Structure 1
Amino acid sequence: MLVHIRVVGPEHDLAGLRDYADIVAAPTADGAVLSCRVPDRAGLTGVVALLGDLGIAIADLQVVADPGPPDGDDTRRYGGRDAGA
């Protein structure tokens, strides 16, 4: 499962996250967007716990269907303004 996690706050050394999971960070004006591939919900829980342990604030989390259906919404959002959408 592919996940995009938007984190905010002071700059963190996100390169070290690759030691724990398959994570790629793209800097933004207020933090970064992390893209990671996890095998299942337990793996996602581990990534979220790791970010919490490192003091990294999660602003939004988006699970991207992998692969997405050809004719429909291929994303689910958790947190942020689009919660429950």
Structure 2
Amino acid sequence: MENRLQKIFTQWGFEKLSPTDALLEKLDMTRKRFFQLVENKGNQEMTVSEQLRLQAWLKSIHKIDMRLFDEAGTQLKIQD
């Protein structure tokens, strides 16, 4: 079964990914395993625990508070 990780990252505008050691530790996987899952390669399908950890991480990225971009913590003002 093909996972959709690469499609998700492509939709978000990413061509190449390079996970940090901190992220790999959070996901409890090796760099090799991360790329196997993203690229749908390797002999072992994604486990349920890998799927749950990746889903939680993706949800946390999707909900990043936009105030992080503004030092004062106020909403960003976009000018036309």
TM beyond 0.5: no
Higher share of residues assigned helix: 2
Question: Which structure has the higher relative contact order (CA within 8 Å, separation 6+)?
Answer: 1
Larger Rg: 2
TM-score range, shorter chain: 0.3 to 0.5
TM-score by length of 1: 0.34
